[in-house]
Chains A and B, each alone.
Chain A
Amino acid sequence: MLLPPSADDLRATARTIGRVLAVQGAVTGVLAIAALLTGDVDSASALACGAALGIGFGALGRTVKARTRRLTWTRGVVAGVASLVAVALVASVPLWLSGHYAAWIDALFDAVSGLTTTGLTLVSDLDHLSPTLVVFRGTLEVAGGVGFLMLALSLLKSLAMMGSTMEPGHGGRERIIRAPTMLWREVRTVVGALLVAGIVGVAGSLALAGVPLAALPATTLALTASAATTGGFAPLTPSVGVYHSALLEAVLVVLMLGGAVSVWAHLHAQRLDQVRKDLDARVFVATLVAVVGGAVVGLAQAGTFSQVEALVRHGAFLAVASVTTSGLSTVSPRLLATDFGALATSALIFGMVVGGMSGSMASGPKSLRVGLLLKGLVGEVRRVLSPDNTVQASWFSHQGRRERLTDAHVRSAATILLLTLAAIPVAALALLWSDPSVGLSQAIFAASSIISNVGLDIGALRPSDPAATRLLATALMVLGRLEWLAVFAFVGTLVALVRDGRRLGRGPRRRRHHARPRSSGSPGDRVALSRDVTSDASSTRTPGGTA
């Protein structure tokens, strides 16, 4: 049964949203000043509106005082989802004010696309968009990539227990066990190194490609953010292909792979024996090899390219872009639809549906889940073929630990994969309904790209589509990025809040009547424990009631 949040939970959530909004507002403010210094007054005022909203509402949220500082899994996820919604709403303001979006829904779509590191866009006239707004879109990708990474790693214990990145441990009450400061140090080390290396590599290759010095900073920041966070927003409509540079494409491939590899693998890169045994890493590499092979063979079979260089360059780049869920492209969306043949397109769809490693900035269902499901299938076949009295046990290695495969692992992985696969036809049907000229394979490709937060564009989703389709696509991006269960928890909490909100009391003070904390831990522990125990006791009577 879903318990309504206490008043203190709401306060803690408001504080979290406030902090996130304040950071987003400060970054937007810096960009507004940069736009003002370059004489781009309209972009500066648009960004200043976004910055003011972020800082203002962020300050309001931060003034709320909460007694409980430690969050449970459910409350942590609810705060994460609420922060995503709040930042998307605020970030859509400067985008809409830029005048490059036909409707506010399109600006919201792009904000969500950036924050979920999808990279699909409904912007009009991107090629005339201000450089500061191009960089602003990049900051959304960094915020989303790092934010979701922090959220996923906060639940690392759950990840190890359940083989998923955002799976509750026990009844949604397991506390988030990783200290945010320690996590932040690890994430900062990996993401910082990736971004710095990316900026150097991308700037160098862009300069060699002939990009003028004046355009170098904005283009470098946008492309680095896009590749390293597996976002996919490009500064110009033809994406990476517009630079005609094999060196740049090679650097971006390295960055995309870096973004899709888990933080754990980055930090343990010197202990290759452990990384080699890791189920997640194994499935990721196997998927990458299969998709690159499928794309190259498919392009050769379809006669799209006859030269080896072209086959490898385009096939490998797009395959990496699909598996790492970055969505950068070397060809125009129309060419992807008309010129790529069934095998190459299918290989790319397969790559998108698997996604990157868990505990990385990549999205998609994740290679770990596919690995767990495959191991479960193999175990099941073995069990069927073995004599009745044989006990079969499967083991897998994940993040340096050897663990026994349980039904819970397989069930958890299968749930997310099935939900993702079930959502693809729904989104494809919506796209076909919106525009009958879109082909079925095109619609399935676009649907996979939306749900797995890849962003490879095949031209199936346009600003001219009905608002319902664009809203559905926006919702599916959120669902895909938050891995379904987190959104279910958020919606369930909202329902519980509306259902029981009228009875909502003042939280911990009221609950002292029912139970006393049994532990002698910190005051924060006592409050949280009291709440959990009381919730159980009161759930049989009136939820959250005082009687």
Chain B
Amino acid sequence: MKPRPRPWLRSHLVELALFLVVVLVASAGIVWARWAAPDEPLERIAIGAAQPDDARIRAITCERTLPDAVDAAEEEAEEEAAAPPLGRVQSSEVLACPDAFDQVVVDYVGEVVGDVLRRDGGAWLLVNDDAYALESGPLAAHDAHDGANQGLAVWLPTEFLDLVDEPGNASRRGDVIEVVGRIHRADPLDGGGLTLRASSAELVRDAEPAGAAINRPQALVAVLMTLAAFAVVAWGHRNGRLSVPGLRTRRRLSKRR
């Protein structure tokens, strides 16, 4: 009588257990590396609170301007143009209710991020006023998550471009500027984009580095895991089970001999 084959799972129990141990060790290393990251948030930028007492901000509602009311809105915009600036606004207020801010002159503070797109007569900037811009800085420096970024597209005339030296990126908080300008819900010069065209600007704070300290535990885990990976590749290659591009396996070599 032919012996009954051993159940597959039982015969591979040792390999499966080893595999699970490797996965657990790798996971533990990754979790340790993640939680050992340096936590050094940048200094909060004191720019003063927005002006919630301004009667015009309170009066703003999110009712859309329908086509019939466009003319009336334009008339209102002309009246607004003669009025003094509305005061400091946040991008979240503008994005939540762009129609209400159309053609309104506002004061806006934020960090320049991304690229400075130089064109004739000025440059397009992305100016963020979220928590990463004005409070704790880029996430490379800390672990206080506050969702996605938020900001406005700002057109800065050439005479103010000297203010922006270093836009924000992964390793630094960019220059923080304060601009006064008019919001266009559908800017005709930008193909209908929501923009803020600055008429004046000033530098609030220079760019500063963020997350300068290297995450040493993460680097250590990376080195160990890389060594382990190459050990597995070398083992497979040595046993002739694994072909590595550019290298001949031992079995192939022995066949040639």
Contact = CB atoms under 8 A, between A and B. Distances in A.
Given A52-B226, A102-B145, A307-B186, A236 B113 contact: yes
A59 interface: yes
A97 B218 contact: yes
Interface string A297-325: 00011111111011101100000000000
A501 B9 contact: yes
A238 interface: yes
Interface string A267-310: 00000000000000000000000000000000011111111011
B126 interface: yes
A49 B117 contact: no
Interface string A501-538: 11111100110000000000000000000000000000
B170 A210 contact: no
Interface in A1-56: 7, 10, 25, 40-46, 48-49, 51-53, 55-56
Given A99-B37, A242-B114, A313-B191, A49 B221 contact: yes
Label chain A's interface by main secondary structure. Answer: helix
Nearest to B194: A335
Interface in A173-212: 209-212
Interface stretch (A128-136, A152-160, A358-366, A477-485): A128-136
Nearest to B94: A334
B226 A314 contact: no
B236 A309 contact: no
A125 B139 CA distance: 7
Given A42-B211, A241-B153, A505-B7, A128 B139 contact: yes
Contact of B151 (A53, A131, A209, A237): A237
Nearest to B119: A210
Interface string A122-149: 0111111111000000000000000000
Contacts of A101: 145
Contact of B99 (A53, A211, A212, A339): A339
A127 B214 CA distance: 20
Interface in A44-88: 44-46, 48-49, 51-53, 55-56, 59-60, 62-63, 65
B138 interface: yes
A540 interface: no
A312 B38 CA distance: 48
A210 B222 contact: no
A305 B9 contact: no
A331 interface: yes
A309 B239 CA distance: 65
A374 interface: no
B4 interface: yes
Interface residues of A, number: 85
A25 B233 CA distance: 12
Interface residues of B, number: 80
Contacts, number: 233
Contacts of B222: 44-46, 48-49, 52
Interface in B18-75: 19, 26, 30, 33-34, 37, 62, 64-67, 69-70
Contact of B138 (A128, A241, A338): A128
A124 B233 contact: no
A307 B188 contact: yes
A244 B99 CA distance: 20
A215 B140 contact: no
B228 to A, nearest CB: 6
B14 to A, nearest CB: 14
A93 interface: yes
A96 interface: yes
A126 B170 contact: no
Given A42-B211, A129-B170, A124 B193 contact: no
A49 B233 contact: no
B7 A338 contact: no
B117 A59 contact: no
A236 B169 contact: no
A205 B98 CA distance: 29
Given A55-B233, A210-B124, A212-B115, A63 B226 contact: no
Contacts of B69: 303
A310 B186 contact: yes
A63 B242 CA distance: 6
B113 A45 contact: no
Contacts of B171: 40
B81 interface: no
Given A123-B148, A237-B149, A45 B64 contact: no
B225 A52 contact: yes
B152 to A, nearest CB: 9
B193 A244 contact: yes
B123 interface: yes
Interface in A223-254: 235-238, 241-244, 246
Contacts of B188: 307, 309-310
Contacts of B236: 59-60, 62-63
Nearest to B146: A124
A208 to B, nearest CB: 10
B97 interface: yes
A305 B191 CA distance: 9
Contact of B192 (A41, A63, A314, A506): A314
A123 B148 CA distance: 7
Given A42-B211, A338-B97, A244 B190 contact: yes
14 contacts: A40-B170, A52-B229, A59-B236, A63-B236, A125-B132, A125-B139, A128-B168, A302-B66, A305-B192, A310-B191, A335-B95, A339-B98, A463-B148, A546-B4
Instruction: Please name the 9 residue pairs, one residue from A and one from B, whose CB atoms are nearest each other, closest first.
Output: A310-B192, A56-B229, A210-B117, A128-B138, A52-B225, A45-B222, A48-B222, A102-B145, A504-B8
Interface of B: 4-5, 7-9, 19, 26, 30, 33-34, 37, 62, 64-67, 69-70, 95-99, 113-119, 123-124, 126, 128, 130, 132, 138-140, 143, 145-151, 153, 168-171, 185-186, 188, 190-194, 210-211, 214-215, 218-219, 221-223, 225-226, 228-230, 232-233, 236, 239, 241-242
Given A126-B149, A307-B192, A309-B188, 7 more contacts: A52-B225, A55-B230, A124-B132, A128-B138, A246-B191, A331-B194, A334-B96
